[in-house]
């Protein structure tokens, strides 16, 4: 089954880089994206979502602790 719209209040991309991009950003109907992956949203994808009023919690805030711990 293929879904034509990605609908939820919160979406959390947590695995792949650039998974939200210019090709699929217009289909998102969420209110908040919490970026748990490293760089899950491309710049153009983010621009499309910001125009739609979607809010972001960026990856640098959401998963920075794991990167810091792995450094040490």
Start-end of H helices in 1-72: 43-51, 59-62, 64-71
Question: Whole domain around residue 31: which residue ranges?
Answer: 10-66
Query: Which band of pLDDT confidence, cut at 50, 70 and 90, is reported for residue 1?
Result: very low
Domain contains 72: no
pLDDT tens per residue across span 8-60: 789 999 888 999 999 999 999 999 999 998 899 999 999 999 999 999 999 88
Would 58 be classed as within a structural domain?
A: yes
In a domain, 2, yes or no: no
Please state the length of the chain.
Answer: 72
- Dihedral angle sign, alpha carbons of residues 41, 43, 48, 50: positive
Q: Which residue, 27, 56, 52, is CA-closest to 39?
A: 56
In the chain, the number of structural domains is 1
* Residue 20 covered by a domain: yes
How far, rounded to the nearest angstrom, does the alpha carbon of residue 49 sit from its chain's CA centroid?
10
Confidence of residue 72 (pLDDT cuts 50, 70, 90): confident
State if pTM tops 0.75: yes
CATH number at residue 45: 3.40.50.720
How many Cβ atoms sit within 10 Å of the Cβ of residue 51? Answer: 10
């Amino acid at each position: 089954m293929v879904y034509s719209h990605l609908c939820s209040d919160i979406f959390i991309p947590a695995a792949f880089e650039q998974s939200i991009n210019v090709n699929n950003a217009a289909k998102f109907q969420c209110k908040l994206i919490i970026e748990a992956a490293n760089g899950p949203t491309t710049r153009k994808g983010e621009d499309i979502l910001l125009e739609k009023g979607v809010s972001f919690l960026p990856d640098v805030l959401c998963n920075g602790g794991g990167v810091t711990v792995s450094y040490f």
